[in-house]
Amino acid sequence: MNNIQQSTRPHYPILDGLRGVAAIIVVTFHLSEPLATGHLDILVNHGYLAVDFFYLLSGFVIGYAYDHRWNKITAGSFFKRRIIRLQPLVILGMTLGAIGFYFTDSTLWPLIHTVPVWKMLMVMLIGYTILPVPLSLDIRGWEEMHPLNSVGWSLFFEYIANILYAVWIRKFSKTALSILVGIAAIALAHMAITNGDVSGGWTLNAEQVRIGFTRTMYPFFAGLLLSRTAKPTRIKNALLWCSILVAIVLYMPRIGGAEHLWMNGIYESVCIIIVFPLIVYLGASGVIHSPKEQRICKFLGDISYPLYLVHYPLVYFYVAWISNHKGVTIVQAWPYALLILTGGIALAYAALKWYDEPVRKWLQKIIF
């Protein structure tokens, strides 16, 4: 069956599936990070580019879902819908991070046991709003916007992109949007080549906020532009081929090493600016061949956002264990990593069915 039926404007199931594939790779990236000696030799070296892929997917889906509806909805109702979709799992992720906080005391975070409960609870309550906490409330010591759930920073910039879209950029013509996307692409490439990568955006200071904005502006609004201009065709086996492309991009080892940082910056620029839009176009053009493939896409899509929001509170325990056992090798760590991965997927599915879907249904009733 074709996954594009303009009369009912359904979701793109293959894009949902690709979001799940990228979310699983993000978890493997975070599990490989503490085993590396630095950012140049992480086993899943480009796993952080999944965030940029998520932004591009979000821009595409938001444009597809809302561009034709602005004569029927207001910016206020758009924001209500986005809050209902995003915020329940933000709150759950922050709560899980708070529950596990004092149990992740380690040599890596020696001050955790000195943090008063009131301060931890304050960080949790601020985290519920997805607003970043100042460095004075950095209770973990990693200089993060959200010390209880590291991944919260990307949701902060996701919200900013949504706000810009709803109040301003949705009104852009294709030409104006193309100019914006072109400028954003140049800024992204400059940053990537200058720094050697696009990694960053999670600290509340001028440099990291600049990185966060730069990482968000191109992919999100390139996705929006793609939704307005692409004419999907019919492509067979798109889920398989697009999943392979995503895996190749994210599992690619570091290029150029410490001596030629610019080479890796070029690689990441090409991936974000060219390869990711191509993957999204192919995914949008894909044809679902069987009920089994439909179920796979649905499952991967269903767990993608919950997995992203709930996995890092589990990863903290894993990172603490590695920190407390110096010299742990990948051979020793992989059973624990596999446990975190499978446990994270199970927790994500449980969170979806027992928390996220019921809460969103309840919020829909009381808000609309």
Query: What does the pLDDT read at residue 9?
Result: 66
Residue 131 identity (one-letter amino acid): L
pLDDT (average), residues 25-52: 96
Contact of 119 with 139, CB cutoff 8 Å: yes
Q: How far apart, in whole angstroms, are the C-alpha atoms of residue 45 and residue 196?
A: 13
Indicate left, alpha or beta for 336 from its phi (over 0: left) and psi (-120 to 50: alpha): alpha
Indicate left, alpha or beta for 194 from its phi (over 0: left) and psi (-120 to 50: alpha): alpha
| Residue 267 CB-density burial (10 A; 0-12 exposed, 13-18 middle, 19+ buried) | buried
With H, G, I as helix, E, B as strand and everything else as coil, classify residue 235: strand
Q: pLDDT, tens digit, for every residue of 210-240? A: 999 999 999 999 999 999 999 888 899 999 9
pTM of the model: 0.96
Domain spans of the chain, in order of start: 13-367
Q: pLDDT, tens digit, for every residue of 248-301? A: 999 999 999 999 999 999 999 999 999 999 999 999 999 998 999 999 999 999
Query: What does the pLDDT read at residue 39?
Result: 87
State how far Cα 231 lies from the chain centre. Answer: 26
Write the DSSP symbol of residue 252. P
Q: Is it the case that residue 107 has pLDDT exceeding 90?
A: no
Q: Is it the case that residue 6 has pLDDT exceeding 80?
A: no
